[in-house]
Structure 1
Amino acid sequence: MRNCVKKLVLSLHLFSVIILSAQHLDAKATILKRINEPEFQNRVFSVIDYGAIADGITNAKPAFDQAIQECKQAGGGKVEVPKGNYFLEGPLHLESHLNLELQEGAVLKFSSNPESYPLVLTSWEGTILYNYSPFIYAYQKENIAITGKGIIDGESSDTFATWHPLQKEDQLRSREMNHNSIPFEERQFGKGHYLRPQLIQFFDCKTILIEDVSIEDSPFWCVHLLKCENAILRGVKYDAQNKNNDGIDLEYSRDILIENIRFNNNDDNVAIKAGRDHEGRAMQMPSENIVVRNCAFKGLHALVIGSEMSSGVRNVFVENCTYAGYVKRGVYLKSNPDRGGEISDIFIKNVEFGEVLDCFMITSNYHNEGFGFPSTINNINLSNVKCEKANNYGIYLKGYNKKPIRNINLNRFKVKETGRNPFVDFAEEVMFKTVKLNGETIKWNAEKLKQNPPDEYDY
């Protein structure tokens, strides 16, 4: 009788998974229909016509700024950057209805002088504050693009990137401001502080396109969409090897398409976030309706959700992706009991990895810290996910003792070689269907899979 009940429960769970998956395929199609590319007036403003000298030495920023303003005053168009090396003594602040086109052979190289970057409203690791301007920045703009086969070079490996060991005091100060709800205008960093700026940031912008450019040597995160809506990131290539050189960070953003990206960056490839702790929960602005497809992963982690996700992350679709090299973790969902919020309705399909440390990992206790606000992690679905080798775990799923993770579904999940048996703890409604590790089919058995990992696991 007990076995019959178990079989009935499993059948009902499987049926609900099938129905839910079908519903979310419809949701993905609806999302894609909403996402539109920006359109621009047929006007061209060449930076050469405004005095830019492409010798890599002369400051071209005044010419770029003038071309941007002329484009704005004319009602929009293309700011054209012909082949050549352009040195910029400070950031570019983009305007609405503008396409910054970097033609093939064009290289932007940015100044290493912090005093050339004014303070702007931005965010840092999930906390809104004033800091050095991102090198390319747009605030409350719409219908905006960066396109072309040129290169955006942050020139930061010997300058801003060296601030990483100096940032701890400011990092902790920013978090205290978050926890104490200090007004934004009082959160002033910049000179005398060591929070590195992002390379490209769109803040509170709509209808965005970043296409085909190459990104190198970023000071911090490479591309950061903060409170943005309706964006396409397509065909971008990376060679960004500094600390915290995340490829794409989505924060409080919705209706996003990421496709045909070739990653090679020294941190997360795609990181989906939604604010930190008190501020994130108060914002009530989840990152949602995100499609990632046809990408090649290489770097630290391929797809990450969290750890700053206090407003929630939902409706994420990742499909038809492969690898360009090693990543530490393939699919990585992370939170802790400081965050709150929810990660739900995540669908990952037809994805391959080569060698990794861990293939699929969820932790509700990131860095083994925090209390009072455990996160909800629910309805996570992986289908036809393959990995050649996981040096550590093929599957590591650890919820929080007061709030288990729920409804975790693996269907056709295969890791040819793993260093450890799978580990699952504080998890409910887990389904394994055709799960193979080291050539062995793994059946769902809560007690068998609950083994003792190291007390201090390297998250």
Structure 2
Amino acid sequence: MKIKLLFAFILCSFSAFAQQKYNVMDFGALGDGKTNDAKAIQKAIDACASAGGGQVVVPGGHVFLAGPFDLKSFVDLRVEGGAKILASTDEKLYTRSAFRENKGEGTIWIGGEKLEQVSITGTGTLDGNGISFMGEELNDSYVLKPFNVIDPRPHLLTLVGCKKLNIDGVTFQNSAYWTVHLIGCNDVSISNITLLNSIKIRNSDGIDIDHSKNVRINNCYIESGDDCICLKNRREFEEYGACENIVISNCTMTSSSCAIKIGSENMDRISKVLINNCNIVNSNRGIGIQNRDEGTVSDVIFSNLIIESRLFSDVWWGKSEPIYITAYPRATANNKDAGWRLPKGQTKGYVGAVKNIYFSNIRCTGEGGVYISGENQDKIDNIYFDQVSVFMNKTSKEAGGLYDRRPSNVEGLIKSPIAGFHFENAGYISLANSSVMWGNAKPIYAGKALETKNVKKINTVNFQERSNNK
């Protein structure tokens, strides 16, 4: 009996510890959608962390307006269904740069550095209030407001050097800049989230995995003006090393730019990446490897994808390419791409190699074709296509007939007939069991089914071309 009572006491004590909860309203949050509740939210997070960890509860039925605040180790920020944390529109509150000494590319709203065992869970909403930070609305985008030194547009979530992160179930929406930016993080799970940004807000990336390792992204729905999911290695955080061991699966995405992108910022190595069972809908560019810096990209597998692409205006990079690989040195003609993008003290850079990339069982539908182009044959090598079909059909009013190599030190937009598969300046390419089909509205700019220029070796097996009625 004593043993049973002792066991029951231990179990009860453990449960009590595991269920420690800190309701933000108990720390002074009003949740009226008007009062800045950031201090109250921060008090709840700090109290939870000081006690050794637990759950900070953001209760449903309220809108918690908030300026910047930070997460802490061993804290689960639980945003309950019907709850919303809404970014304050007071630009004076946003002073912390999202990129350290590079102050011209946004600020931090929800942040954290060198944390461990951090979670954001629940079915509530984190809202960046993004349109409030924009200028005039245009047909295809919003005008970006001018600024002096600091661009006040807040990134929604920025976590640096963290271990064991879990983001599950929440909705992220209306970010004014990047939404989820993870830098130098290790052991990350992002699952079951909905991410809804305006497709007119430039730079409104969905998830940016930067110098991070052992990351799993699955079962997510993402709409964004800029890239939905992007792997990169920014120069401002070079001490964190390579971006590797990334798995992306079972996601649905829509983007005005590129749904899944690797690059363009890559000053280290991106490798060992698996992207599987994803649906890309109504996007400008489907999947892209856009290498512009000295870092390398290798050992990437794309499989079991459906890609639907269409043309957008020149505001957005991309020309309806379902699959895109380019490797050119970065443009240096403007401060955005020079400045902080190039190695310190240098005025021009060079580009690393893209090798061992595999595409399998992919169905592409849209207004453009597969495009691969490099600085020379050594920059893009060992590219494999198996069971990749391209159905090209005109659906938008955009003119088309352009290849897009921006941002690069060569001509960015090249007028050309658009092939189903275009391979230029590459090493070895294998094209097996693949096809090009022309739709009933075959674009007037359509070129050959397969176009090759300066390719060292191409191996073609069972490649077919046909029209829609054959």
TM class by smaller structure: 0.7 to 0.9
Match of 2:391 among 412, 416, 419: 416
For residues 318 and 105 of structure 1, what CA distance do their matches in structure 2 show? 32
2:72 corresponds to 1:72: no
Q: Contact 1:432/1:444 (CA < 8 Å) preserved in 2? A: no
Residue equivalent to 1:350: 304
Tell me if the contact between 2:377 and 2:456 (Cα under 8 Å) persists in the aligned partners.
no
Name the SS for the 1:104 alignment partner.
Answer: coil
Aligned with 2:125 (options 131, 151, 163): 151
Q: Is residue 426 from structure 1 mapped to residue 425 from structure 2 by the alignment? A: yes
CA distance in 1, matches of 2:329, 2:105: 27
Look up the SS of the partner of 2:89 in the other structure.
coil
> Closer, same or farther in 2 for the Cα pair 1:402/1:340, shift >3 Å?
farther
Query: Which one of the candidate residues 363, 366, 380 is aligned to 2:326?
Result: 363
The answer for the alignment partner of 2:373 in structure 1 is 398
Query: Which residues of 2 match residues 2-17 of structure 1 at below 5 A?
Result: none
Deviation of 1:302 (Å): 1.2
Structure 1 partner of 2:92: 115
Secondary structure of 2:226's counterpart equals coil
- Asked if 1:62 corresponds to 2:39, the answer is yes
Paired AA for residue 364 in structure 1: A
Instruction: Tell me if the contact between 2:48 and 2:54 (Cα under 8 Å) persists in the aligned partners.
Output: yes
How far apart, in 2, do the equivalents of 1:154 and 1:402 lie? 44
Q: TM-score, normalised by structure 2?
A: 0.74
Cα deviation 1:230-270 (Å, max 9, x = unaligned): 11111111221122111000111110000001011111010
Write the distance in 1 (CA, Å) between the matches of 2:240 and 2:26.
46
Structure 1 Cα separation of the partners of residues 392 and 224 of structure 2: 25
Task: For residue 372 of structure 1, report the CA deviation from its aligned partner.
Answer: 4.5
The question of whether the paired residues in 1 share the 8 Å contact of 2:425 and 2:454 is answered with: no
State the partner residue of 1:331.
287
- Equivalent residue for 2:242, pick from 270, 274, 286: 286
- TM-score (norm: length of structure 1): 0.76
- The answer to whether residue 144 in structure 2 is matched with residue 165 in structure 1 is yes
The separation in 2 between residues aligned to 1:132 and 1:47, in whole angstroms, is 27
- 1:221 aligned to 2:178? yes
Tell me the equivalent position of 2:360.
Answer: 383
Q: Distance in 2 between matches of 1:149 and 1:432?
A: 44
CA gap of 1:366–1:131, structure 2 versus 1, over 3 A, is closer
Q: Distance in 2 between matches of 1:54 and 1:222?
A: 23
**Equivalent-residue separation in structure 1 for 2:62 and 2:308 (angstroms):** 36
User: CA deviation digits over 1:144-195, x for unaligned, max 9?
Assistant: 011111011111212267796356x87xxxxxxxxxxxxxxxxxxxxx5325
Q: Which amino acid aligns with 1:355?
A: S
5+ residue gaps, structure 2, are: 1-16, 137-141, 311-319, 333-346, 395-417, 440-447, 458-470
Shift of 1:134: 1.6
- Residue 199 of structure 1 aligns to a residue whose secondary structure is strand
Aligned to 2:29: 52
Q: 1:448 to 1:391 in 2, by over 3 A?
A: farther
What's 1:136 paired with?
Answer: 110
Ranked by relative contact order (alpha carbons within 8 Å, sequence separation 6 or more), the top structure is: 1
Name the structure where strand makes up a greater proportion of residues: 2
Which residue of structure 2 aligns with residue 35 of structure 1? none
**1:366 Cα deviation after fit:** 6.8
One-letter identity of the residue aligned with 1:257: R
Q: What is the alpha-carbon distance in structure 1 between the residues aligned to residue 387 and residue 57 of structure 2?
A: 48
Identity %: 27
**Structure 1: gaps (5+ residues):** 1-39, 171-191, 451-459
* Change beyond 3 A, Cα 1:195–1:430: farther
Query: 3-state DSSP class of the match of 2:41?
Result: helix
Q: Give the deviation of 1:404 after TM superposition.
A: 3.1
* Corresponding residue of 1:19: none
Shift of residue 70 of structure 1? 1.1
Structure 1 counterpart of 2:159, one-letter code: F
CA contact (8 A) 2:104 2:150 kept: no
- Higher relative helix content: 1
Offset, 1:92: 1.9
* The 10-residue stretch of structure 1 (151-160 or 210-219) with the greater mean CA deviation from structure 2: 151-160
How many matched pairs?
378
- 2:384 maps to a residue whose letter is N
Q: State the Cα deviation string for residues 299-328 of structure 1 (Å, max 9, x = none).
A: 1311100000111211110001113x3111
- The letter of the residue matching 2:45 is I
Contact 1:264 1:297 (C-alpha < 8 Å) held by counterparts: yes
